Amino acid sequence: MPIKKNNFILFVCIGILISISDLNAQLPIKTGEWITYLPQREGNWVTQSKEKIYYSTTRSILGIQKSGGGVTEISRQDGLSETLIEKIAFDNFNDQLIIAYQNGDIDVVTKEGIINLPFIKENRTITGLKNINDISIVNQNFAYLSTSFGIIEWDLKKQEFRSTIFSNTPIISVKLIKNTLVASTEDGLYAINKDDVLKVNFNRWQLLDGRNGLKALYTVNAIATKGDKIFAGIDNEIYESNDGIFFTKIPNLIAPNGFTIKYISGEGKHLIVGYRDKGNSASTFALTDDNKILPAGGGCSNRAKYGIEDEQSRLWFADEWRAIRHTARGLNEGCTFTEYPSPFSHTTSDIAIKKGKVFFASGGASEDLALLSIRSGIYIYDSNKWENLVGAFNPELERSDYHNFFGIDVHPEKNELYAASYFSGIMKYDYITKKLTFYNRTNAPLNGSVPWVADVKFDKNATLWATHTNAERPIIALTKDSTWFTFKPPIVSTKIGRIAIDQRGNKWIQVAGNPGGVLVFNEGEKIQDPTDDKYKYFDLNNSEITGNKIYSIKVDLEGRVWVGTNQGPVIFDCNPFEDRCKGTIRKVVQDGVVGLLLSNEEVLSIEVDGGNRKWFGTRNGIFVQSADGSEQILHITKENSPLLDNQVYTLKFDGTTGLMYVGSIQGIQAYQTETFGSLKTHSSNVYTFPNPVRPGYEGTISIRGLGRDATVKITDINGVLVYQTKALGGQANWDGRDYAGRKAAPGVYLVFSTSQLSFESSESYVSKFLIVGD
């Protein structure tokens, strides 16, 4: 079968993986490039090469230098085919890292690149689960994959699967000892001679029992090979065998009371046996070649899934609790806990940005406002540093029992973040002083039994508006002078969620459920006077909305309101309180066919970039449309980009960097758009990226920090016009070629830009950049 090499590899070689500090850097990057922000707080699996310890963190892989401790990372941004990692194993014979994913896909990371083996994932004859439970590397030529449907013999040289042994029970692990294959299953151990020509018939395999030194009925906890022996954890006791057929029990190595064997590993000088109880405790022992039992682990593990011993006899644990863990010296001396700068978790439901700080809410409700349970708090990213506001790190937050943060916003005048807890109320966080304030039924008009707040948004007067889901008076306001007000709209359902505020001060509010709708509310001139309040409700009965579910609402740069439904977006470019206002649906031409804009898509999120282009997050990736929605600019998917997952729940544009932050079901990323946010005038920092343009550079040359929709002329040093364009928002883009398609010659180039009609106006700008020759 043919093999595939990944087509968007950036840095893939085992020796040159991107460092975490570089990966998280929020420095200028090329248009179309990605930054991925994944949690690096715990190990899901661990393996080793001669130089490195490799940790799977489920969504990426960390490589830790055994000498010096330097850390590198690889994820989908760097060319991996999938996101959810099941197992990893390093093949020291062939110097390659093997990555098995939860859907059966496999990547092999070599010095030449990433080789993808999608044959299990894409095999339609395999019904049911396609889990890869274990990777057993036998020698430089072969490995065995233990799967939910059987055993696969894998040719490591040719990167081909030679044969598949289908079983009637999932194979947990398979090992080769001398000439015997031994498979661990829920029924017990099975064995067969590896040269048996009929071994593909699993019925020929021998179930090992009392005749083989084992019990008649037993449970297999784990198996491993070390040297010329195979070891099996059987009912919390360790058995060994020289041939894989006959076993003897090792005396005195018995599980502590209440503990069971979790794993056995034989990669180092000792056989390592890891135990776990039903709580949060673990115990580790090491077995010498003459069966002496040594204490090990140094108290490093709590819920270890696996552990390995390196050349210095340090133990490295893949632990379900936080931190990358290993003994400091030898088997049992000291313990090192390391948490690398990263968001606490991969989940996110809302994003806010202010003055370079990016705030992420970790979530707490579904898109239909069903209650979830997410205790990952809030992540704050600033200048390549992460702050995680979460109960695990903050005792005050833990005591308050505030979690399920679904919506967030930043005070327009103060250093305060407001978060909607879809469980406890509203939380205020002064991110300079670190002071927390909790609003609940004791100090705010919140329902005591169901204090679920779905969203918070500030208006131009610095009044905070919140949706109090399922409450009798579900719209809440906190004014600048700290006065609370509540409102009771004339609607049947009070399951209200997302808020967007238009340029008239109207609050557009999601009404969840089936059928759902959009509530529009305006409090009038006097917030305390209910007589001038206005309400309007839109659904499929009185508007152009055809979908029965509402997911998202966004006001664009021109004041139009875009409503995301389960049948595409609907645009309201009218006064919602006028009878004629019913919204419109854009007609688009796609592949020569006229249709309705994204009518088959569930629009889970909407954002606009600096050029007022529309970004729609759906269950099928991100659709980027022109400002009026009529033209498709991009369709970004997991299949054609490093996007972690096609389900995109939140989007947020940072006008100062041109980055579009993306929150999918599998994690947080940022994409460098072609645009910058802007005012009508140029910023004080107009610059060209990259500058200088070095030999071999093939990307877009971007002039950033311009006035909105500025006219830009690029000339050579003699004033000869090379290219002219118009900025998208605050950024102009040039492909480095003149009007005839010729690549620009090396030299100094001048950029003349103006946001007015004339280049002689005061609102014009001149800058320069250099193209370097070969």
Reported as a pLDDT band with limits 50, 70 and 90, residue 5 is very low
Mean pLDDT of all residues belonging to the chain: 92
How far apart CA 348 and CA 359 sit, in angstroms, is 10
**Can you say how many angstroms the Cα of residue 284 is from the centroid of all Cα atoms in its chain?**
33
Q: Is the pLDDT of residue 419 over 70?
A: yes
- Give mean pLDDT, residues 642-669: 97
Reported as a pLDDT band with limits 50, 70 and 90, residue 265 is very high
Q: Who wins on pLDDT, 202 or 2?
A: 202
Residue 224, both tokens = 């491993």
- pTM of the predicted structure, to 2 decimals: 0.91
pLDDT at 591: 72
**CB 423, CB 451: distance < 8 Å:** yes
pLDDT at 9: 34
- Give strand pairing partners of 85: 101
Helix, strand and coil percent figures for the chain, each rounded to 5: 5, 45, 50
Q: Is the pLDDT of residue 155 over 90?
A: yes
**CB 221, CB 233: distance < 8 Å:** yes
Tell me the CA distances in angstroms from 616 to 95, 107, 496, 634, one per residue in order: 42, 30, 21, 10
Indicate the length of the chain as a whole number. Answer: 774
Q: Who wins on pLDDT, 183 or 68?
A: 183
Q: Is the pLDDT of residue 7 over 50?
A: no
Q: Is the pLDDT of residue 750 over 80?
A: yes
- Give mean pLDDT, residues 162-173: 95
**CB 316, CB 306: distance < 8 Å:** no
pLDDT at 66: 95
Measure the CA angle with vertex 605, ends 603 and 608; round to 5°: 115
Show Cβ contacts of residue 718 under 8 Å, excluding neighbours closer than 6 positions.
none
How far apart CA 272 and CA 224 sit, in angstroms, is 10
Show Cβ contacts of residue 600 under 8 Å, excluding neighbours closer than 6 positions.
567, 568
**Per-residue model confidence as pLDDT tens digits over 275-329:** 999 988 999 999 999 999 999 999 899 999 999 999 999 999 999 888 899 999 9
Q: Is the pLDDT of residue 483 over 80?
A: yes
Strand blocks (E) in 593-705: 593-596, 605-608, 614-618, 621-625, 632-636, 648-654, 659-664, 667-672, 687-689, 701-704
**Per-residue model confidence as pLDDT tens digits over 330-367:** 999 999 999 899 999 999 999 999 999 999 999 999 99
- Give strand pairing partners of 99: 88, 107
Mapping DSSP to helix (H, G, I), strand (E, B) and coil, where does residue 204 land? Answer: helix
- Give mean pLDDT, residues 448-461: 94
- Give strand pairing partners of 52: 65
pLDDT at 12: 33
Name the least confident of 168-182, 231-245, 374-388, 744-758: 744-758
pLDDT at 760: 52
- Give mean pLDDT, residues 666-674: 96
Mapping DSSP to helix (H, G, I), strand (E, B) and coil, where does residue 554 land? Answer: strand
Scan for tokens 């065998």, then name that residue: 241
**Per-residue model confidence as pLDDT tens digits over 114-137:** 999 999 999 988 988 999 999 999
636 burial type by CB count under 10 A (0-12 exposed, 13-18 middle, 19+ buried): buried
pLDDT at 4: 41
Reported as a pLDDT band with limits 50, 70 and 90, residue 10 is very low
Scan for tokens 């310890």, then name that residue: 53
- Give strand pairing partners of 56: 45, 61
Reported as a pLDDT band with limits 50, 70 and 90, residue 27 is low
Q: Who wins on pLDDT, 590 or 757?
A: 590
**CB 744, CB 709: distance < 8 Å:** no
Nearest to 559 by CA among 575, 543, 545, 535: 575
- Give mean pLDDT, residues 631-640: 95
Reported as a pLDDT band with limits 50, 70 and 90, residue 759 is low
**Per-residue model confidence as pLDDT tens digits over 484-524:** 999 999 999 999 999 999 999 999 999 999 999 999 999 99
Share of the chain above pLDDT 90, in %: 82
